Amino acid sequence: MKAAVLGAGSWGTTFAQVLCDAGTPATVWARRPDIASAINELHENPRYFPGLTLPPTLTATTDIGAALDGADLVVLSVPAQTLRENLNTWAPLIPDQALLVSLMKGIELGTHKRMSEVVLEVLGVPHARVAVVSGPNLAREIAQRQFAASVVACSDELSAQLLQRACHTDYFRPYWNIDVIGCELGGTVKNIIALAVGISVALGLGDNTKATLITRGLAEMARLGEAMGADPRTFAGLTGMGDLVATCSSPLSRNRRFGEYLGQGMNVAQAKELTAQTAEGVTSYAPVLELARKYGVEMPITEVVGAVISGRLSVGDAGIVLMSRSAKPEWYGTELRARGTGSTAWMSGWAGAYPWVSAKVPPRGNA
């Protein structure tokens, strides 16, 4: 099996390393000739991981045709808003029957489509040929071969398991899943919540605030996901809570770091200049909010982040706006009954946290 990884950024390079370490030779397509030369000659990506040695089976090229030639896995790792344009260019070169794997965590502006949906629409391939990778995967730590886990998701179990085998190493443990919607939404919304956490850190707020944003952000993610047909259990796993905690907690997170710049008083343009790579949450908040309105889901943290990014709300007022909301029950939207107790102990809450869900009822208020 051979892989082509299209994109030589930090995560694309790191996932190519994982593939090679798992016994799946990979060729990275890089836009910049100097990056491709460094990978081939020095076994290093000096832009993102200076001093870290890449596997000798990892090669690079600036020739997209050469990268894709004979590839069984085509791994897509470009900024989310450039995917459609790139795919339209690459489509004639992508091998028939190759499994297309998205590493991207974003929603397309205008269409509100998830990245897998963009792939399906542009390339016209069956769902069984499109997979996603999502989880608490801070690239630098994995590039250093620190222990990590992730989710590989495809609507087709065999395709998901094939991808799992292709990237399973002694330091990178992938779990397979068929809930593509949940995995992609988890990977997208967590970036927006990380922006909020970054702002709070810059404002000098403490761990209580961070924990509040993380857990209420998880509630927003789960509400939208369930409304869109995702499996609620996904959000209790690696691509939900796991990715959310890592992205919100680590200074390695580009979205959290971007939020810190905003919290320090910088505008979006200034923050972009200081952020080496794309902070997807800065763009994805808008289509996420449009999806939330389409499905009748309230996402107050996402709303506030969007207002700060668009300049409609100051960072100093962001917390005030959130804390001034009327009191709500913590759980709402689904009736839950504990089995085996003989009682009718009903709880209004998120079904994914409770495997004994017995019934669903219309939402009862907002949280």
Active-site positions read: 190
Distance (Å, whole) CA 333 – CA 108 = 28
* Number of helices (H), then strands (E), in the chain: 15, 10
Q: Which residues pair with 3 in a beta bridge?
A: 26, 73
Alpha carbons 22 and 130: distance in angstroms, whole number = 20
Closest C-alpha to 47, from 39, 36, 35: 35
> Residue 85's closest CA among 153, 6, 28?
6
Closest CA to 302 of 115, 107, 114: 107
User: CB burial class (10 A; 0-12, 13-18, 19+) of residue 335?
Assistant: middle
Give residue 296's region: left, alpha or beta (phi > 0; psi -120 to 50).
left
Residue 48, C-beta contacts closer than 8 angstroms, at least 6 positions apart: 9, 10, 13, 139, 140, 276
CA angle 146, 149, 154 (to 5 degrees): 145
d(CA 309, CA 312): 8
Helices (H), the chain: 10-21, 33-42, 64-68, 83-90, 115-123, 139-143, 157-166, 180-202, 207-227, 243-249, 254-263, 268-274, 281-294, 300-309, 315-323
Tokens of 52: 């870290």
Q: What are phi and psi of 95, to 5 degrees?
A: -60, 140
For 300, other C-beta atoms within 10 Å of its C-beta total 17
